[in-house]
Amino acid sequence: MRTMIQDSGSRPASPPALRAALLRWYRIHARPLPWRRTNDAYAIWVSEVMLQQTQVLTVIPYYERFLRAFPTCRALARASFDKVAEFWSGLGYYRRARLLHRAARLIVNDFEGHFPETYEAARQLPGVGHYTACAVLSIAYGTPFPVLDGNVARVASRLRGLSGNLHDVKFRKEIEKQLRELLSTRRPGDFNQALMELGQLVCLPRNPRCPSCPLRKCCRASLSGDPERYPAPRPRRLSETYHLAAAVIVCDGKVGLVRGLDDHLLSDLWNFPSRFGLTPHEALENLKGTLISDGSPSPRVIRRLGAIHHRITFRNISAQVYEFPRDAVTRPLRWFSWRRLQTAAISQLARKTAAVAEHRLHA
């Protein structure tokens, strides 16, 4: 990787001038997001975890409901994981909820229920990586750590005219070094949030709104006339199609679910017993094979109930939904009424499967 500094002939603004322009803009344009109304490290931590893989507008209702249900770290630690997953259901990436819950219990045990104030202690918590530790410590406690998410990295690389791939560790280190030089030590939390906000609202990946940007006069990418060149585009992973067979087993008006899907996916959530395969036929055979190895003598399909499509990261999942008799599965199942499925901690894939099954079975 080659890090280039494009000299457009501009004179970079001094860090204090740049900070002042950025913070002034933030004061006027910051969106009134619910996690910006608090200094509570726990609430800020929850928002940072939710925002890791999910858009701001999607997170807001989940965040508000979650904090109503678990207003403190102690309340979260006391809850069962099933309860926590219920409030996470729909946000995806459930491993985040699992780790958040585990970390809450550790915080109650080891830190009297308060998110730790040092980087080293924060990093000991499950699920708290470098990014989350820096974000929570800078926003909640004013500790001067720069925060480097995708939006901030894009703004910083454009500002300094640095070309490189954001997934390259060396390039990210260079960006982080630049950020440390710019960071406001008096208001690191606002500075970090201002850069994130600028990246989300103005310095967009495509068609950045340079004329409305408070940093345009000192931005090397903008002055070069082609800001989108920075940073280099991420090499894309091609999506892959996966075939899945899902078993719907009904008993006394309830459906039987298991934890996890297949291939270590969705392991924290309830799902219909399912197996992947290279073709729909192979997926069904794999499913029957699993039922046999679980102790079922000869699992047979009663009928095919329908098909669904679902996407998990790069996986395009094409699932066939089959009804199996009660005795097709001998391993313990968790039984849910159709109504309970609406709020239970089940995956989105299971939710779609349930909708298809319920429609056919009750038609």
Q: How far apart are CA 182 and CA 208, in angstroms?
A: 21
CB 237 to ligand SF4: min, Å: 26
Given 48, 174, 176, 197, the catalytic residue: 48
CB 209 to ligand SF4: min, Å: 6
CB 222 to ligand SF4: min, Å: 4
CB 210 to ligand SF4: min, Å: 3
Q: For the segment 179-198, give every residue that binds ligand SF4 (CB under 6 A).
A: none
Contact map string, positions 198 to 237, toward ligand SF4, x by CB under 6 A: ----xx----xxx--x-xx--x-xx----x----------
Of the candidates 354, 362, 290, which has an alpha carbon nearest to the alpha carbon of residue 328? Answer: 290
For residue 48, indicate whether it is catalytic.
Answer: yes
Q: How far apart are CA 103 and CA 48, in angstroms?
A: 14
Of the candidates 78, 80, 46, which has an alpha carbon nearest to the alpha carbon of residue 63? Answer: 46
Q: Of 64 and 228, which has the nearer Cβ to ligand SF4? A: 228
Give the helix ranges, DSSP H, for the chain. 15-29, 41-51, 56-69, 73-78, 81-88, 95-111, 119-123, 130-141, 150-159, 169-182, 188-201, 220-223, 280-293, 338-341, 348-361
Tokens of 172: 């990210």
Do the Cβ atoms of 217 and 12 come closer than 8 Å?
Answer: no
Q: Of 77 and 202, which has the nearer Cβ to ligand SF4? A: 202
- 155 part of the interface to ligand SF4, by CB under 6 A: yes
Q: How far is CA 135 from the centre of its chain?
A: 15
Largest CA distance in the chain: 77
Do the Cβ atoms of 245 and 286 come closer than 8 Å?
Answer: yes
CB 165 to ligand SF4: min, Å: 18
User: What does the binding site for ligand SF4 look like in residue numbers (CB under 6 A)?
Assistant: 155, 158-159, 202-203, 208-210, 213, 215-216, 219, 221-222, 227
Q: Which residues are catalytic, by number?
A: 48
